[in-house]
Amino acid sequence: MKNGVVIVGSGHAGVQAAASLREEGYDGPVILLGDEKELPYHKPPLSKTFIKDAAAQPQPLRGEVFYTGHTIDFRPGTLVERIDAAARRLDLAGGGDLAYDHLILATGSRPRVLPLPGADLTGVLSLRSVADARLIREQSGACEEVVVIGGGFIGLEIAATLAAGGRKVTVIEALDRLLGRAVAPLIAEHVRQRLTASGVRILLKTTIERIEGEAGHVSGVLTSSGEHLPAKMVITGIGVVPNVELAETAGLTVANGIRVDTAMRSSVPEILAIGDNASYRHWQTGGDVRLESVQNATDQAKLAARTIVGHPGDYAAVPWFWSDIGDMKLQMVGLTAGSDRQILSGDPAENRFSVFHFAGDRLTAIESVNRPADHMLGRKMLGLGFSPTPEQVAGGAEALKAALAALPAG
Ligand code: FAD
């Protein structure tokens, strides 16, 4: 009797791994463990719509019948505490253990905690799970003023969403620009201008001295410039840390995530890691990366399933990501590391443009604002290893489509 595959974590990566195992013809037991009590759900809508819409429900990744229909033993509310890699066993919180032939760690990541006085006051929140989103939605109703700490994707999505819902929102960012180094400066500045025009106050080059409270609840923040900002809710969005503690109990190699090879195997080959918690050598840049995106979680899960059924491939998916910030759909494809040249296509004044990144003549990435066609063509071009000329970029989507159509078959 096979012990089968145990998957720890029932988020985007874990659920896809279970589905892909069945698609690949794996017929042994598949046990999917998740510490959350919910039916696994899509995370991206949480910061974009869920927190402002009182009637919104979590959107399930798969219907309940999917798990029973594919003989996937889904066990919600199950926290895994320890792995004994030598015995191929894991311990569950509250007692009990489980044996496995293969183990997939899809434990994701969690919000980085702000190391500041006052960070433990009630009303200081972060957003990762639907439980977090419910808290923000419930408590923001009674808040006129909200402070968001961190000008990254999630912080800005939350800021735009709460501002659209009538809250007075201030974003505090330590760097001199938004979105860290995740996008071109032109795009970061465009986002800043549009958010500001929509009523969000943005303070760059500003840090927090302390979070202030009254009777245990947050009442505001004191900034490094000495300004006191009243707020009954403070949301921190200062990045995430990978959930690697379980991997450490198994003695796996961990370095900014669980180290995996190109087939998603950890330093103990029958234990695989996928999604936000996995770090690996990237095929495009040659550098070590740990990506936090639905695409990465999904594609790595598919590959892990193939590895388990004996057809390992090499992870070489083109990375892509999206973010909806107010009236801006940002879409990124490729990685900008190593790029030395940018070409702008379209007009920021129309809130529709793309920045094409190149290393020499080689296309490395495209970042788009409200230009989905550029993004989709970018996925094709990067997948094929095709780099457009500056003239083709200037010609817009039609010229790029024509250039792709003119490529020799195969
Ligand atoms: P998760 O989806 O986080 O799943 C991990 C699961 O494992 C969690 O349920 C966790 O509770 C569980 N777990 C952890 N430890 C244990 C344990 N010991 N025992 C049992 N269970 C455990 N990406 C995009 O591409 N575009 C977007 O627009 C976008 N928006 C986002 C908005 C928000 C608010 C958030 C939070 C994320 C967003 N992301 C977006 C990122 C994307 O959701 C993540 O990259 C993706 O969820 C990663 O999938 P994962 O399965 O690795 O981790």
Q: Which whole-number Å values give the CA distances from 39 to 11, 13, 32, 66, 311, in the listed order?
A: 10, 14, 12, 11, 30
322 lines ligand 1 (CB under 6 A): yes
Atom in ligand 1 nearest the alpha carbon of residue 81:
18
Per-residue confidence band for 394, with pLDDT thresholds at 50, 70 and 90 = very high
Whole-number Å distance, alpha carbon 295 to ligand 1 midpoint, is: 12
Residue 181 has pLDDT above 80, yes or no: no
Max intra-chain CA distance, the chain: 70
Q: Are 260 and 127 in contact (CB under 8 A)?
A: no
What does the pLDDT read at residue 410? 67
Specify the residue with its C-alpha closest to ligand 1, atom 31.
Answer: 44
Rounded distance from Cα 276 to ligand 1 centre (Å) = 7
- Name the residue of 43, 321, 322, 367 whose CB sits within 8 Å of the most ligand 1 atoms, as the mutation to test its pocket: 43
Give the separation between CA 395 and CA 125, rounded to whole angstroms. Answer: 46
Query: Residue 355: what pLDDT?
Result: 97
How many Å lie between the centroid of ligand 1 and the Cα of residue 241? 11
Q: Shortest CA distance to 369 belongs to which of 400, 398, 329? A: 329
Does 187 sit in the ligand 1 pocket, CB within 6 Å? Answer: no
82 close to ligand 1 (CB < 6 Angstrom): no
Q: Which two tokens stand for residue 124?
A: 């200081």
Kindly give the interhelix angle for 294-308 and 12-23, rounded to the nearest 10 degrees: 40
Out of 46, 294, 330, give the residue to mutate to test ligand 1, the one with the largest number of ligand atoms within 8 Å of its CB. Answer: 294
Q: Whose CA is nearest to atom 45 of ligand 1?
A: 293
Atom of ligand 1 minimally distant from the CA of 301: 51
Q: How far is the CA of 109 from the centre of ligand 1 (A)?
A: 6
343-382 burial, b at 16+ Cβ within 10 Å, e below that, comes to bebbebeebbbbbbbbbeeebbbbbbbbbeebbbbbbebb
Residue 92 above 80 pLDDT? yes
Residue nearest to atom 32 of ligand 1 (CA): 44
CB 221 within 8 A of CB 172: yes
Binding site membership of 111 for ligand 1 (Cβ less than 6 Å): no
Q: Say what the pLDDT of residue 284 is.
A: 80
Atom 36 (ligand 1) nearest CA: 128
Residue whose CA lies nearest to ligand 1 atom number 33: 44
Give 398: exposed, middle or buried? Use CB within 10 Å, 0-12, 13-18, 19+. exposed
User: How far is 15 from 13, CA to CA, in rounded Å?
Assistant: 6
CA of 394 to the centre of ligand 1 (A): 37
Give pTM, 2 decimals. 0.96
Among the atoms of ligand 1, which is closest to the Cα of residue 323? 28
Average pLDDT over residues 290-304: 97
Q: What is the pLDDT of residue 85?
A: 97
Instruction: Pick the residue whose CA is nearest to atom 26 on ligand 1.
Output: 322
Three-class secondary structure of residue 254 per DSSP: strand
Ligand 1 centroid to Cα of residue 35, in Å, is 12
Contact residues for 374 (Cβ-Cβ < 8 A; gap 6+):
345, 346, 354, 366, 368, 397, 400
Q: What is the DSSP letter of 38?
A: S
Letter for the amino acid at 367? E
> What's the CA gap between 76 and 195, in Å, rounded?
38
Orientation angle between helical segments 185-197 and 153-164, nearest 10 degrees: 20
Tell me the pLDDT of the chain averaged across its residues. 96
- Residue 285 pLDDT greater than 90, yes or no: no
pLDDT at 250: 95
Residue 350 CA, ligand 1 centroid: distance in Å: 33
pLDDT of residue 373: 97
177: which residues sit within 8 A by CB, 6+ positions away?
185, 188, 189, 192, 204
pLDDT band for 366, please (50, 70, 90 cuts): very high
Average pLDDT over residues 46-68: 96
- The residues, ordered by sequence, that sit 6+ positions from 29 with a Cβ below 8 Å of its Cβ are 2, 3, 4, 5, 73
Give residue 363's pLDDT. Answer: 97
Give 43 Cα–ligand 1 centroid separation in angstroms: 7
State yes or no: pLDDT of 297 exceeds 70.
yes
* pLDDT for the residue 283: 84
- pLDDT in the model for residue 286: 85
How high is the pLDDT of residue 182?
Answer: 81
Distance from the CA of 76 to the center of ligand 1, in angstroms? 15
d(CA 194, CA 176): 17
Q: Which atom of ligand 1 is nearest to the CA of 277?
A: 52
pLDDT at 260 over 60: yes
Give percent of the chain above pLDDT 90.
Answer: 95
* Percent of the residues in the chain that have a pLDDT greater than 70, as a whole number: 100
Q: Give the tens place of pLDDT for each residue, 339-364.
A: 999 999 999 999 999 999 999 999 99
* Gap from CA of 12 to ligand 1 centroid (Å): 6
- Judge if the beta carbon of residue 91 lies within 6 A of ligand 1: no
Tokens of 224: 């490094």
Is pLDDT above 70 for 301?
A: yes
